[in-house]
Amino acid sequence: MTSSDRTLLVTGAAGFVMSVLAREWLERDSRARVVILDRSPLDAAAQKWFAPVMDRVQPIVTEILDAERWAPQLDDLGISSVVHGATITPISRGSALEASREPEAEDPARIVEVNLMGTVKILEWARRARGLKRLLYVSSGSVYRNHGPDWAPEPLPEDGYVGPLKLYGVSKFASEMIVNRYADLFRLSAASVRLASVYGPMDRATESRNFRHVPHRVAHMALSGEVIRPTNLEAVGDYIHVADVAQAIIALLDAPALRYRAYNIATGETVSIGQFIDWAREKAPALRCEVTPFESCNIDQNPRLSTGMWGAYDISRIVAETGWRPRPVREAFLSYIDWIAANELVS
């Protein structure tokens, strides 16, 4: 792809992962451009994040379902690639207080409508777009079942072991299947990326997402001096820094061709709560940790959930096809602590 062909449409880029992707895209090429389609305008954090490259960012504030409004605005922008990340992420877990609510029950129809029909609206525009070279749909490890693979401790491959239990995962997997069918029908170069647990810069509460993974919680508690009160130190997850995710997505956008319809983006290994706490002490030696009953914890995760969507994801597919590799987990986590210290007010 030449510089003149590098106009990327990113849906949901006023939020977390997609904002980091958009800036990474722009910083790689001084002539590249990004069009942001998001229901929310850029908040103060996003304005600060995009400030160095804002002259090449075109935000369009609109509902993803309102294609009659946004589609005509896209037609003459020379969009060469699309990353569809706009979604409602109704996750609530991590502390005793958060575990007490089930956000999917608050507006289930809205979750399905935005996550599924929003994807259809983007695909309907994409199949008619002139000059579009690739579309990537941002899916999630939530499409996988709670257990697998059958030969532990092998990492979880893209093929098999799919069995979403919640509306978020169901809507993600249904969207993947619709992307696949549109790709076949209209000869689109399209694929889905299944993200493991993502943390890093720009992770904050937004209208569509308000959930913090373990690395985020540990890093902020370490810097603020808050005592970390987990229910255990053994629970694990495959946690990946958002910058590594952005680089992986761009590697797939730039690949000459895609051999598969789904790619895991992860570190390919699990890390425990206890490991993150030990690494955090390298930056905050006074960090205190007290294993605590559920009723008074500020980090809760079930240690028995260590395979399937909760375990390590196989990344051999994307590594072989693009050469991308994530940073070591410790290195990425410590860089995030440094970023928080330099860029966020820590109380």
What was the pLDDT predicted at 150? 77
CA distance 240 to 326: 8
Residue 2 has pLDDT above 50, yes or no: no
Query: What pLDDT is attached to residue 230?
Result: 97
| CA 272 to the chain's CA centroid | 20
**Sorting pLDDT into bands at 50, 70 and 90, what band is 212?**
confident
pLDDT above 90: residue 198: yes
- pLDDT tops 90 at residue 100: no
The helix (H) or strand (E) run that includes residue 135 is strand 134-140
**What is the pLDDT, as a whole number, of residue 346?**
46
pLDDT attached to residue 96: 56
pLDDT band for position 347 (cuts 50, 70, 90): very low
Q: Which residues are bridge partners to 299 per DSSP?
A: 230
For the chain, the structural domain boundaries read 3-212+238-268+311-328
Q: Is the pLDDT assigned to residue 91 strictly greater than 70?
A: no
17 vs 211 pLDDT, higher one: 17
CB contact at 8 A, 293 and 246: no
Q: Per-residue confidence at 210, pLDDT binned at 50, 70, 90?
A: confident
Least-confidence region, from 85-94, 118-127, 162-171: 85-94
pLDDT at site 211:
78
Beta strands in 112-261 (DSSP E): 134-140, 190-195, 197-199, 236-237, 239-241
> 187 near 248, Cβ under 8 Å?
no
Q: What is the pLDDT of residues 233-278, one digit of tens each?
A: 999 999 999 999 999 999 999 999 999 999 999 999 999 999 999 9
Q: Which of 102, 122, 260 is nearest to 191 (CA)?
A: 260
Residue with tokens 């449409």: 9
Question: Residue 10 is inside which H or E element, if any?
Answer: strand 7-11
Kindly tell me if the per-residue pLDDT of 195 is higher than 70. Answer: yes
Predicted confidence band of residue 105 (pLDDT cuts 50, 70, 90): confident
Q: Is 156 helix (H, G, I), strand (E, B) or coil?
A: strand
pLDDT of residue 1: 44
Neighbours of 289 (CB within 10 A): 20
Beta carbons of 90 and 105 less than 8 angstroms apart: no
List, in order, residues 6 or more apart from 287 with CB less than 8 Å away: 221, 222, 228, 277, 280, 281
Residue 53: pLDDT over 80 = yes
What's the fold here for domain 3-212+238-268+311-328? Answer: Rossmann fold (3.40.50)
In this predicted structure, the answer to whether residue 130 has a pLDDT above a threshold of 50 is yes
Query: Which pLDDT band, with edges at 50, 70 and 90, does 3 fall under?
Result: very low
In percent, the amount of the chain with pLDDT more than 70 equals 94
CA distance 302 to 234: 9
Regarding pTM above 0.75, the answer is: yes
C-alpha dihedral (64, 68, 69, 70), degrees to nearest 10? 60
CA 220 to chain centre: 19
**Which residues fall within 8 angstroms of residue 274, CB to CB, at 6 or more apart?**
233, 234
Q: Which of 90-94, 193-197, 207-211 has the lowest mean pLDDT?
A: 90-94
**pLDDT per residue over 280-328, tens digit each?**
999 999 999 999 999 999 999 999 999 999 999 999 999 999 999 999 9
The mean predicted confidence, pLDDT, of the chain is 93
